[in-house]
Copies of this chain bind each other. A is one copy, B any other.
Amino acid sequence: MKDVTYTVSAEARSKTRLDVSARDFTIVVDEPKQLGGTDAGPNPLEYELASLAGCINVTGHLVAREMGLTISDLKMTLSGTLNPARFMGRGEEERAGFKEIAVVLELSGVTDAAQLEAWRAAVEERCPVSDNLNHGTEVHVSIQE
């Protein structure tokens, strides 16, 4: 299969607000007021979790169809814990990002435990966002002169 490239462009509206253009969509990222922002949108870490959630939904339905399963009423809760010290420049004992991300799914339609586990494992492995997090992805930041 051919490679596919995704591109977004973005412009800072303030020190916390960034408007991101993805095709015809605008994604507004901001921070809540208590973190110095204007609260015009979810913050980057909430989008990180939303990205993973959306990927699990799409991959989950794709894998279910391949397995002949029909899943319904899919809901999920995602959470991640981090220590803000490194981000704030106040210590390097802990990493900057989430230490791990927990995803808890609720769904109907599949009752066989072995099938459910095979589905779960395939989704985790084939979801591109889950793969990017689980296995790491090099981020190259450069500055255009």
Residues of B contacting A50 in the complex (Cβ-Cβ under 8 angstroms): 8, 10, 20, 22, 27, 29, 47, 51
Total residues of chain A contacting the partner, CB 8 A: 105
User: Chain B residues near A142 (CB, 8 Å)?
Assistant: 102-105, 120
Given contacts A10-B53, A53-B29, A143-B116, is CB(A1)–CB(B85) below 8 Å?
Answer: yes
Q: How far is the CA of A83 from the CA of B2 in the complex (A)?
A: 6
| Contact indicator B1/A91 (Cβ below 8 Å) | yes
With A1-B84, A7-B78 already in contact, the answer to whether A18 and B57 are too (CB < 8 A) is yes
Whether the pair A141, B120 counts as a contact (CB closer than 8 A) is yes
Q: How far is the CA of A16 from the CA of B59 in the complex (A)?
A: 9
Determine which of B98, B126, B139 lies in contact with A137 in the assembled complex, contact meaning CB atoms within 8 Å: B98
Q: How far is the CA of A102 from the CA of B3 in the complex (A)?
A: 15
A11, A73, A124 interface centre (most CB from chain B within 10 Å): A11
